[in-house]
A and B are shown apart, each in its own frame.
Chain A
Amino acid sequence: MDVVVLVKQVPDTESLIQIEGDGVSIKTDDIKWVMNPYDELAVEAALQIKEAKGGTVTILSLGPEKTVETIRTALAMGADKGVHIFDPAADGSDALSKGKLLAAALKTLPFDLVIAGMRAVDEDNYQVGSAVAELLDIPQISQVTKVAVEDQTIKCHRVIEGGTVVVEATLPALFTTQRGLNEPRYASLPGIMKAKKKPIDTLSLADLGIDPETVGPAGRKVKVAVLNFPPDRKTVKMVDGGNPGEMAAKLVKILHEDVKAI
């Protein structure tokens, strides 16, 4: 079974996120970049399928030069090879263009199954996996929490309001991962050493036969108008000391005098 995993490099949500002067992008210099956590689930799922069924796991990623680090991480976890779509003209693509680029690359690769994260924690579009499946004209199952692969079919569990639903499709197919699917493994030290020697192919727009005018900023169908932080979370104040009565009295005093709520 040949599995291709779509992997994205995203800012670590613990890093220092600041909005750029243009108001529509974030400052990137002090950011730590990691593998999208949902894609870690996808890599783990692919490796488990390979362990059970044999075959190969290929990592496909679209992004700037440093994306290679994330591809290497997936290779260190145990994937076999990487494919990196790297072309400055693709920077700033919207979700549909990203889908186009990934689908074009997938057409050059042998696969029975494609796995993607259900969302990337940076832009949170929930679109790329679906776009890729649509453009490849293969079945897609989203937000999967459990998966079983047979020779010709795939059976996936999805959580729905109040229960689960089991969905089947014939291969080749694409599914996207939801939390709970598995616990991604660590990249081991020997794994990291081995990953240094695994191949990563780089593809440009020309290699994919894609016109630069149809992707990147020029090809965007949607534009970010403005980015905002959530309202500041105020520090929690604990009311402590004394019996419940005294604590209630203190609370009333705070609400009245400090917060001026009552």
Chain B
Amino acid sequence: MNDAREELPFDILFIGGGPANLAGAIHLMNLAGEKGIELEVGLIEKGDEIGSHALSGAILDPIALEELIPDYLAKGCPIEEPECRDEFYFLTRNRYFNVPFTPRYMHNEGCCVISLSKFTRWLAEMAESLGVNIFPGFSGTGVIYSSDNHRITGVATGDKGIDKNSHKKSTFEPGVDLTAKITVFGEGSRGSLIQEVDRKMGIFSDKMPQVFETAIKEVIELPDSNHFLSSDTTVMHTFGYPLGLHTKGGGFLYKMAKNRISLGLVVGLEYENPLMEPYRAFIQLKQHPLIAKIIEGGKVLQQGAKTLPAGGYYTMPSLAVDGALFVGDSASMLNTQRLKGIHTAMKSGMLAAETIIPALEEDDLTRRTLGKYESKVKQSWIHREHYAARNFSQALSKKGLLKFVHLGVQYFTQGKGVNDPLPIEADHTTLKEMGDEKATEVSVPMANDFDGELYVDKLTGVYLSGTQHVEDQPCHLIVQDMDLCSTRCYHEYRNPCTRFCPAQVYEMVEESPGVRRLKLNPANCLHCKTCEIKDPYNNITWTCPEGGGGPKYSIT
């Protein structure tokens, strides 16, 4: 065991093993192959395997996949359900209404249902067969810059084998400096390195604030006799209950192969009520008569949570700097209007590849050549989709019926709407302070709602996500000011972290009457990053734990 950091040089380095980077790496190898260019390409992923941290719906619009791997079916692309036959429901507490007219962007003809976890594992096989070096179990923990700080020259991976007190254990393994001519950041929603880049290079300045949604989802296995399995419907979306009309988001239910369904709830993090608990809302969705009837007799096989970047067009960062490109969810490529980001992520990765090849040929790795990626995105269908939806997320954040006024006007003005751009607020600013009178509402127990099979509590959910972290390591959640939690935050918001975290990472323990302390369970963390986004004081920073830790999703 050697304590010194090594440098490992690549031509091109991809950070994150999601659809954006995997498609990018595959396309890059294909293009390089056509031109006879030899490239050493590396890709790191913090999950212990590709797919372990992939959680999505997911309805795949195959437009980018068809371009990338035209014979994807022959190559064994794992598809759960080849046809999307949609239904759209408005829910009240006990009733539901089938919405006969669905907006065009909600139609999913031509799309199919996939498990992103399986899909990315398959993409990784494709990439490896083309010679991409894939390194699962390694987190990027720092950006490496040129000595003048103007150019990104790579990414440092985290040390392994460090104990709670930051001392080296016997297994200590130093991280590596991965250097590259061009680094592509595809860290997904709320990437930690892209934020570091922003602090240095300001790629998000002049943009509207990034806004997010948190989703909790399960894969449920239904008994053979289940009536939904034999029904025609394969895709359902709901809005209304349990979120009401003040919070954006809604439910989804997709049919998968082998008697399985994917069921989830997306909750806009611009919500105002500090007592809101997304996990609880998810349970309420499951208990709603419409859904409860469908999932009757089922068993939860896997559960997990993840955030989605919902801001879209006006929140997209500058997409290239000297030495680096930004793709997929990290760069706000998700189209909230269609609740789809896989196709745009893949396309953005592919456009990045198409920019990299000429940059290498010209031997110019600055924004002058890499900036062409931005114009390629502008000329592609990514831009067309996004431009039409440029005010959509903002409109959905409007309270009550007002949102429908905005949406209606936008629908008939190609997205321009009442105001363009319609402004938006950062999620951490939207919580309303609570009055003391509501304090009793906080600890409503849910124990009776759970049966451990179909309805599971948060900790069982964590178990079903397969989440594991090396226990003896420094806490990856950095709470700058712990006192704030027991003082101001308790009084103003009753510690919303204990509710918005879907994995019970945050707990307030009452050590003696009136004396409270924040207790962290970082080993439960699902890497959704809701805490960093929603904490009203910006008091929490999420950093990558030791590589290989986190969920082990395989069918989500």
A107 within 8 A of B: no
Contacts of B460 in A (CB 8 A): 235
Q: How far is the CA of A30 from the CA of B170 in the complex (A)?
A: 34
A186 near B555 (CB under 8 angstroms)? no
Interface membership of chain B positions 539-556, coded 1 if the CB is closer than 8 angstroms to chain A and 0 otherwise = 000000000000010110
Picked from B135, B170, B452, B453, the residue with its CB within 8 Å of the CB of A189 is B135
B227 within 8 A of A: no
Interface membership of chain A positions 159-191, coded 1 if the CB is closer than 8 angstroms to chain B and 0 otherwise = 000000000000000000000000111111110
Q: How far is the CA of A12 from the CA of B555 in the complex (A)?
A: 15
For window 29-72 of chain B, which residues contact chain A by CB distance below 8 Å? 48-49, 52
B176 near A12 (CB under 8 angstroms)? no
Contacts of A196 in B (CB 8 A): 133
B173 near A188 (CB under 8 angstroms)? yes
- Considering only CB atoms and an 8 Å cut-off, how many residues of chain A contact the other chain? 24
A221 within 8 A of B: no
A50 shortest CB reach to chain B, Å: 13
Interface membership of chain B positions 75-107, coded 1 if the CB is closer than 8 angstroms to chain A and 0 otherwise = 000000000000000000000000000000000
A213 shortest CB reach to chain B, Å: 34
A26 shortest CB reach to chain B, Å: 14
Q: How far is the CA of A193 from the CA of B178 in the complex (A)?
A: 12
Given the known A-B contacts A32-B49, A193-B8, A235-B450, are A15 and B466 also in contact in the complex, defined by CB atoms under 8 Å?
yes
A183 near B452 (CB under 8 angstroms)? no
A190 near B447 (CB under 8 angstroms)? no
Q: How far is the CA of A185 from the CA of B452 in the complex (A)?
A: 37
B8 near A190 (CB under 8 angstroms)? yes
Picked from A31, A187, A188, A232, the residue with its CB within 8 Å of the CB of B176 is A188
A32 near B554 (CB under 8 angstroms)? yes
B452 near A193 (CB under 8 angstroms)? no
Contacts of B466 in A (CB 8 A): 12, 14-16
B198 shortest CB reach to chain A, Å: 26
B144 shortest CB reach to chain A, Å: 15
Contacts of B1 in A (CB 8 A): 185
B217 shortest CB reach to chain A, Å: 15
A192 within 8 A of B: yes
A15 near B457 (CB under 8 angstroms)? no
A30 near B8 (CB under 8 angstroms)? no
Q: How far is the CA of A193 from the CA of B8 in the complex (A)?
A: 10
- Which residues of A are interface residues toward B (Cβ below 8 A)? 12, 14-16, 18, 30-32, 183-190, 192-193, 196, 232-235, 237
4 cross-chain pairs, A with B, having the tightest CB-CB distances, nearest first = A186-B173, A14-B466, A235-B452, A189-B176
